[in-house]
Structure 1
């Protein structure tokens, strides 16, 4: 597919897991992709190499999304190298420590808010002037099905993702007059390294052991999420903004996760 030909996409947390799947899919669909990573340069380089080997165009850029100076420097470099970003996938995140509210201090809430909410909003703020000059721009924020499930011991993570979703819905209304579409993708459990850790911590099982209890016989894969993101950025979703798509096949049959 070449539906995204000529688009410049930035995928935060694009070196692994869901972000890696999204970066590769957007490149397959014709976008030039800036692959953001925080620490693992080798993993980011592998994503870029895979995209290049498939005939796509990509480059890796380091910045922690909660480091405003690093983010500003990254955006400057992307602009010089690739041009104006007209497609942002805000995917970078971090796990919570999984404690009850009674045992969670304010520093944990602030840590999650900086990564999942405040950092992405500052990134979006810096990108908007350029996005407004483009014929079409898209912001896709990666949230989580956990927002609607509110499980025990997850308040800090759930709150940060819920705040991001609220801001995204507001942004969609504010920016539609500028041609900027803003949508939310909320996966359930996904078969990634982080998903394996979550499955082990919450259920004492592996993804492979959980697969049979999930709809269609498997937990979601990164490509499932990537396909939805690619659709939202495509001409087929031209009239969609302010929407939330939950990628979990309707939820697991098991109550473990």
Structure 2
């Protein structure tokens, strides 16, 4: 088990991509802290699934845009597990799809604070523990939206671009401490957020209706993102840092 002895914090891991990542890391031997903001039931289900794999897991409630919540969360995880050496900044929210001229300033702050400022807070807080370990990994879950820059999504694309800037800066700052920092950028993924996006854009209630027109005959699954993360934090990716991996089947789907 390539991650045996390692402790992961995956933000927003009660559902969707975060849940798939948390389970994948547990399958590879890591103990996992499952962060959630409000859905305690889903977080408990993820924790139970990890424990069924024979790994330790705890749910940790925190709104990632709150420095106070983040401090409490990181302290609690270190108290429980002794250290954190693997962080996946996955927590995210959708923007409301309005043009810049029609965007509420509060919306801009809400989205940026969750995706980028929260990731900065948590990364800063885990670094002292991570530096004390033989290896550290930070993965930022971005989006192809930060490449396509479609109209009506400025808060989201700006937040993801800032998240990527944080990753590439951290990769240079922390390399001397044995910490790898990489970005995974999904396209459209079959999650609750992805299904809402498809309904809003196409009017389709079933995201699987897009399978026939998607790369490899299907929409991307959360497990596809999780498998990319598990590679990047594994011994097979020991010499990779400061990299961005786009996971969209080569199709350039928005996400």
**Shorter-chain TM-score: what band?**
over 0.9
- 3-state SS, counterpart of residue 123 of structure 1: helix
1:256 Cα deviation (Å)?
A: 8.4
* TM-score under structure 2 length normalisation: 0.97
**Counterpart Cα distance in 1 of 2:50 and 2:131:** 28
Residue matched to 1:212? 212
| 1:202/1:256 contact within 8 Å kept | no
- CA RMSD between the two structures: 1.2
1:102 Cα deviation (Å)?
A: 1.3
- Are residues 234 and 66 of structure 1, via their aligned partners in 2, closer, same or farther at CA, if it must alter by over 3 Å? same
Q: Note if 1:180 corresponds to 2:173.
A: no
**Counterpart Cα distance in 1 of 2:58 and 2:236:** 27
- Are residues 34 and 256 of structure 1, via their aligned partners in 2, closer, same or farther at CA, if it must alter by over 3 Å? closer
Q: Note if 1:248 corresponds to 2:248.
A: yes
- 1:83-109 CA-to-partner distances (Å, cap 9, x unmatched) read 210000000011101101111132222
**Counterpart Cα distance in 1 of 2:239 and 2:230:** 15
- 3-state SS, counterpart of residue 133 of structure 2: coil
1:140 Cα deviation (Å)?
A: 0.2
The number of equivalent residue pairs is 254
| 2:187/2:254 contact within 8 Å kept | no
**Counterpart Cα distance in 1 of 2:126 and 2:53:** 28
Map 1:63-82; keep pairs closer than 5 Å.
Answer: 63-82=62-81
- 3-state SS, counterpart of residue 229 of structure 1: helix
| 2:145/2:254 contact within 8 Å kept | no
**Counterpart Cα distance in 2 of 1:186 and 1:256:** 10
Map 1:153-232; keep pairs closer than 5 Å.
Answer: 153-205=152-204, 206-232=206-232
| 1:4/1:29 contact within 8 Å kept | yes
**Counterpart Cα distance in 1 of 2:156 and 2:245:** 19
**Counterpart Cα distance in 2 of 1:193 and 1:167:** 26
**Counterpart Cα distance in 1 of 2:54 and 2:132:** 28
Residue matched to 1:22? 21
- Are residues 256 and 202 of structure 1, via their aligned partners in 2, closer, same or farther at CA, if it must alter by over 3 Å? farther
198-207 or 241-250, larger mean C-alpha shift: 198-207
**Counterpart Cα distance in 1 of 2:202 and 2:185:** 21
200-209 or 8-17, larger mean C-alpha shift: 200-209
- 1:139-164 CA-to-partner distances (Å, cap 9, x unmatched) read 00000011111111001100010011
- 1:68-121 CA-to-partner distances (Å, cap 9, x unmatched) read 111111111101111210000000011101101111132222111110111110
- 3-state SS, counterpart of residue 52 of structure 1: helix
| 1:203/1:256 contact within 8 Å kept | no
Residue matched to 2:111? 112
**Counterpart Cα distance in 2 of 1:73 and 1:256:** 35
Q: Which runs of 5+ in 2 are unaligned?
A: none
